[in-house]
Amino acid sequence: MRKTKAGFTLIELLVVIAIIAILAAILFPVFATAREKSRVSTCSYNLKQLSMACKLYADNNGGKLPMSYPFAYVGQTERDWCGWYAPADANGIDLTKGAIWEYCGRNRRIFLCPTDYNVMTTSPNMRFAKSRTCPDSYAMNARLGWTAQRPMCDTIRRATQILLLIHEARDQIDDGCFYWVATNRSLNLPTKVHYNGSTLSYLDGHAKWASYNALLKENDSNQWDPTTE
């Protein structure tokens, strides 16, 4: 007489399910952390590439970085750095019209952090409806590219401390310009898009992640102003 195999008991199945659930609870945060670290790494790489493109532009344009906000003065004809206003365009952002488009290998991917892929822009100050799916994650320090009389890169000291580009969250970014004033909480502020902080690059080209509190301290100390010693 052939013996039949005994199946799992209900208790054994429940134990197996419980073990799987525990392992999943342990591993999911690990996977999420690894994914976010990868995004931060890619974002920092993007900022380095964009910073290099900005410096190449300056080398070919009398030492001046591209405009960050061409509406800054009447009658301007320059293109802004990334095509938000190139000049004023009713259709909104167009990366191909940005001043550094030719200097960054015409690479759209480096303008957008992976965190922002397929994420709608919700800032209440967005000027054009077509820009809600904006292809840009970054904004330039307004003190570097606000007017026609922009400072030349070679004359700016503390290049390792002067903000060049910063990653703004989807609920804040509304143009390619990061307009800040020390201790003023009604203007652009750093965001918490990565690990309760953000990524940014400095005038010397290096990029890093910094916590929101650290960035706020840099903002309030007026560290990012290129006209101060």
Q: Are strands 177-178 and 138-141 parallel, antiparallel or unpaired?
A: parallel
**Range 138-164 average pLDDT:** 89
Among candidate residues 159, 125, 181, 188, the one with its CA nearest the CA of residue 54: 159
SS (H, E, C) 161-188: CCEEEEECCCCCCCCCEECCCCCCCCCC
Q: Which of 28-42, 87-101, 211-225 has the lowest mean pLDDT?
A: 28-42
Higher-pLDDT residue of 62 and 69 is 62
**Range 86-113 average pLDDT:** 88
- pLDDT band with cut points at 50, 70 and 90 for residue 77: confident
Among candidate residues 117, 152, 163, the one with its CA nearest the CA of residue 137: 117
pLDDT above 80 (res 184) = yes
Q: What's at 219, amino acid-wise?
A: N
pLDDT above 90 (res 207) = yes
Most confident of 71-75, 81-85, 168-172: 168-172
pLDDT mean across residues, the chain: 86
DSSP lists the bridge partners of residue 106 as none
DSSP lists the bridge partners of residue 163 as 202
Domain residue extents for the chain: 13-220
CA pair distance 174, 139, nearest whole angstrom? 9
Specify the pLDDT at position 160: 96
Specify the pLDDT at position 36: 77
pLDDT above 90 (res 168) = yes
Specify the pLDDT at position 49: 98
Strand 138-141's sheet: what is its strand order? 177-178, 138-141, 163-167, 197-202, 207-211
Q: What is the pTM of this model?
A: 0.84
pLDDT above 70 (res 100) = yes
pLDDT above 80 (res 14) = no
Report residue 61 as tokens. 């344009």
pLDDT above 80 (res 8) = no
**Range 140-150 average pLDDT:** 84
Specify the pLDDT at position 109: 96
CA pair distance 137, 64, nearest whole angstrom? 23
SS (H, E, C) 50-108: HHHHHHHHHHCCCCECCECCHHHCCCCCCCECCCCCCCCCCCCCCHHHCCCHHHCCCCH
Other beta carbons within 10 Å of 137: 29
